[in-house]
Amino acid sequence: MKIKIKNSVVVLPSDEAISQNELLLTLHPDKTCIKSVYDMNLFLGAAIRPWRRLARAETLKKFRGYIRHLEKSSGFSPEEELPRLNSHLGYLAHFDEYREVKKTIDSAPAVLSKYKFDNNYSKALIK
C-alpha cells in the first residue's frame, strides 16, 4: 500500500483496504472521517478545498464585528488596536478573501482615517 503525506493529511488509495495494523496507528472514532478529496474540510477557521482555501463564515463574521466595533468607538487608540488588527489581517491573508477584507475595511472610514494598509490588505500601519 502506498501512502502519501501532504500538508499533514494522509492520502490513501481508495481501492485498497485500510488496516490499522498496516498503518501502525490508532484512529479515534469521533475524530476520524474518511471522505472524498473533493469535499470541503473545515479545519482551524478555514474551509479547505483542493483548489481553494476560504475563511469560514464565522471567522469573517468576527472580523466584520471587530471592524464595526472600531468604527463605533471612533475614539480608539490606534497604537493599542494595531496588534489586534494586524492579527486579523495576517490570519485572513492565508485565505482567498482579499475582496471581502477590502470591502469590509473600505466601509469603515474611521479605520481608514487612522491606518494605512499594504496592497493586499495583510498588514496595517498607523498614519
End-to-end CA distance of the chain: 58
Give the whole-angstrom CA distance, residue 111 versus residue 103.
12
Cα 59 from Cα 106, distance rounded (Å): 18
For the chain, give every domain's residue range. Answer: 4-54, 56-126
pLDDT in tens, 99-109: 999 999 999 99
Task: Give tens-digit pLDDT for 11-68.
Answer: 555 545 556 566 676 767 777 777 777 777 777 777 777 777 888 888 899 999 999 9
Of 75 and 124, which is predicted with more confidence?
124
CA distances from 56 to 50, 53, 82, 89 (A): 16, 9, 23, 14
Cβ(100)–Cβ(88) below 8 Å: no
